[in-house]
Amino acid sequence: DAKTTQPPSMDCAEGRAANLPCNHSTISGNEYVYWYRQIHSQGPQYIIHGLKNNETNEMASLIITEDRKSSTLILPHATLRDTAVYYCIVRVFLGGYQKVTFGTGTKLQVIP
Amino acid sequence: DTEVTQTPKHLVMGMTNKKSLKCEQHMGHRAMYWYKQKAKKPPELMFVYSYEKLSINESVPSRFSPECPNSSLLNLHLHALQPEDSALYLCASSPGGAFSPLHFGNGTRLTVT
């Protein structure tokens, strides 16, 4: 799977948009970008995924650059409950299961 | 609440003990995973089962022994562990489809004394 690079930490004011970048310059054509987050003392939680088009769901938006070498996760109105470690993952489906390898992630602190 | 249930939530064991971690899901998922997470580190993949067969073993020491008795249940048998094996052990499951995300439990916090 392609390697990802994320900033180790970010702060965001409550109510503002949180924009979390991820670099995946070695991504190949059939690899998807996935985002998970891990709130303290809980298991990771799936947020969103995409291949090359921008995606939006009830939790977040995912913007992928045209060359697919980087992406940004956007939490439109961050709340204190969004404080977590956010992981950007590039993975390939192996037929019946996935090999998901976590990088070091970005620790997002939402400030009141 | 998570749809992947892990028991126990906490476990303390001595280095000579034998214990087991249990993971259960009733979502009909056909792939199940064990991850190990040390403090302030990302989860590390240990094992993957697909359709009840072991598909990935990430060179895990033999003192960790996984078992998948059926498609809903995943066990991790522990024997002769070391203090450095103390960690959060996470279980996950996923449907068999190509784009399906992993669903994680909240883990078992293991302390080896």
Residue B1 has pLDDT above 60, yes or no: no
Tokens of B93: 């499951």
User: How do residues A57-107 score in pLDDT, each as one tens digit?
Assistant: 999 999 999 999 999 999 999 999 999 999 999 877 677 778 888 989 999
pLDDT confidence bin for B97, thresholds 50/70/90: confident
Average pLDDT across chain B, whole number: 94
A25 C-beta neighbours (distance < 10 Å), count? 12
For residue B43, list chain A residues with Cβ-Cβ distance below 8 A. 38, 44, 102
B21, B76 contact by CB (below 8 A): yes
| pLDDT for A90 | 87
| pLDDT for A96 | 75
* DSSP-derived secondary structure for chain A: ----B--SEEEEETTS-EEEEEE-TT--TTPEEEEEEE-TTS--EEEEEESSS-EE-SS-EEEE-TTSSEEEEEESS--GGG-EEEEEEEE-B-SSSB-------EEEEEE-
| pLDDT for B105 | 97
For residue A34, list chain B residues with Cβ-Cβ distance below 8 A. 101
| pLDDT for A1 | 63
User: How do residues B20-43 score in pLDDT, each as one tens digit?
Assistant: 999 999 999 999 999 999 999 999
Q: Which of B104, B106, B108, B109 to mutate to test the interface with A (most CBs of A within 10 A)?
A: B104
| pLDDT for A41 | 84
| pLDDT for A95 | 72
For residue B56, list chain A residues with Cβ-Cβ distance below 8 A. 97, 99
For residue B50, list chain A residues with Cβ-Cβ distance below 8 A. 96-97
Min Cα distance A46 → chain B (Å) is 6
pLDDT confidence bin for B2, thresholds 50/70/90: low
| pLDDT for A2 | 64
- Alpha carbons within 13 A on the beta-carbon side of B57: 12
| pLDDT for A21 | 97
Closest partner CB to B105 (pick from A34, A43, A85): A43
